[in-house]
Amino acid sequence: MKTTNNKAPNAVELEKELQTDFQKAMSYGDYLHLDKILSSQHRLSNHHDEMLFIVIHQASELWMKLILHEVTAAIQCIRANNLEPSFKMLSRVSRIQQQLIQSWSVLSTLTPAEYMEFRDKLGQSSGFQSYQNRLIEFALGNKNVHTLSVYQHDADLYQKMQTALHEPSIYDAAIHALMKRGLPVDQEVLQRDCSQPYEPNASVEDAWLTVYRNVDQYWDLYELAEKLVDIGNQQQMWRFSHMSTVERIIGNKQGTGGSSGVNYLKRALDQHFFPELWSLRTKL
């Protein structure tokens, strides 16, 4: 009687060169330091769903780290008048933002009753305190000196936040790129205090209008503008998804860090990025 061998033909031979001895070689886990990453999820309750809450927020912080890596490099390219490499970086940022937005839909599987089983274990900790998210907001131009008080307990971090507050945002860099191409921009904008919130300016809008009306002549600036619109729009979508998820889980309760919760998140939606890139659309 003929027997059937379900083994893939030549499977052993094909796998013969597979590395199996890592006594003196670096493995996948070694390279990624998985021992540290995967041992950093410590539930403070016995509730099953606290693991979801921890992993979502830790993974989000890793994605934010990559956003900062890309945006910082993009700003350097733009300030050096080397725009093209920044396009790939900003496209990547937009894709990362999509991942962050999607993460809220995973967290929304946490029901109000489930969250209340471990919410008290969070103490005064809150997503509002995420310094990486604050650094992203600063890098995109949403500067607010009052938010720094949250970090005063850590001298090194507080200094890092102070430095970031005073650095030009990616929009400041883009406006200087307009000037370098001969487009007139008011000196008060070019020499402004970068630690202050950006205020819309007519000369900046006119410069961007020139770019959009002469795309062939200013293709690189036009491409930069659209990349900025992409990430500004995605950041607003992230904010909205955050607010919607919080409302779904805790309603209008006060936030764990003392904020007004959903109401605070709703007000954040009124803070727009790159205002002239939106207002010019009405005038085209």
Q: Is 57 annotated as a binding residue?
A: yes
For residue 241, give the nearest of 221, 262, 213 by alpha carbon.
Answer: 262
CATH code: domain of residue 155: 1.20.58.480
- Give domain status of residue 29, yes or no: no
Q: Is 37 annotated as a binding residue?
A: no
Q: Is 4 annotated as a binding residue?
A: no
Q: Is 242 annotated as a binding residue?
A: yes
- Give domain status of residue 216, yes or no: yes
Largest pairwise CA distance in the chain: 91
Q: What sections of 121-218 are H helices per DSSP?
A: 131-140, 155-166, 170-180, 187-190, 202-213
Backbone dihedral angles phi then psi of residue 279, each to the nearest 5 degrees: -70, -30
For residue 129, give the nearest of 99, 104, 154 by alpha carbon.
Answer: 154
DSSP 225: H
- Give domain status of residue 8, yes or no: no
Judge residue 140's burial from the number of C-beta atoms within 10 Å of its C-beta, 0-12 exposed, 13-18 middle, 19 or more buried: buried
Summary mean pLDDT of the chain: 92
Q: Is 166 annotated as a binding residue?
A: no
Per-residue pLDDT, 67: 98
The domain of 270 spans 49-282
For residue 268, give the nearest of 149, 70, 136 by alpha carbon.
Answer: 136
- Give domain status of residue 54, yes or no: yes
Q: Is 256 annotated as a binding residue?
A: yes
Give residue 85's identity as a one-letter amino acid code: P
Backbone dihedral angles phi then psi of residue 46, each to the nearest 5 degrees: -95, 10
* Cβ pair 178, 204 in contact under 8 A: yes
- Give domain status of residue 15, yes or no: no
Question: How many Cα atoms occupy the beta-carbon half-sphere of 97 within 13 Å?
Answer: 27
- Give domain status of residue 258, yes or no: yes
- Give domain status of residue 42, yes or no: no
55 — pLDDT class (breaks 50, 70, 90)? very high
DSSP 128: G
> Euclidean distance between the first and final Cα of the chain, in Å?
80
Question: Per-residue pLDDT tens for 108-150?
Answer: 999 999 999 999 999 989 888 999 999 999 999 999 999 999 9
Average pLDDT in the 184-208 region?
97
Number of domains in the chain: 1
Question: Per-residue pLDDT tens for 170-180?
Answer: 999 999 999 99
- Give domain status of residue 148, yes or no: yes
* Cβ pair 70, 207 in contact under 8 A: no
As given in the structure block, the two tokens for residue 178 are 């307009």
Q: Is 55 annotated as a binding residue?
A: yes
Q: Is 153 annotated as a binding residue?
A: no
Per-residue pLDDT, 3: 57
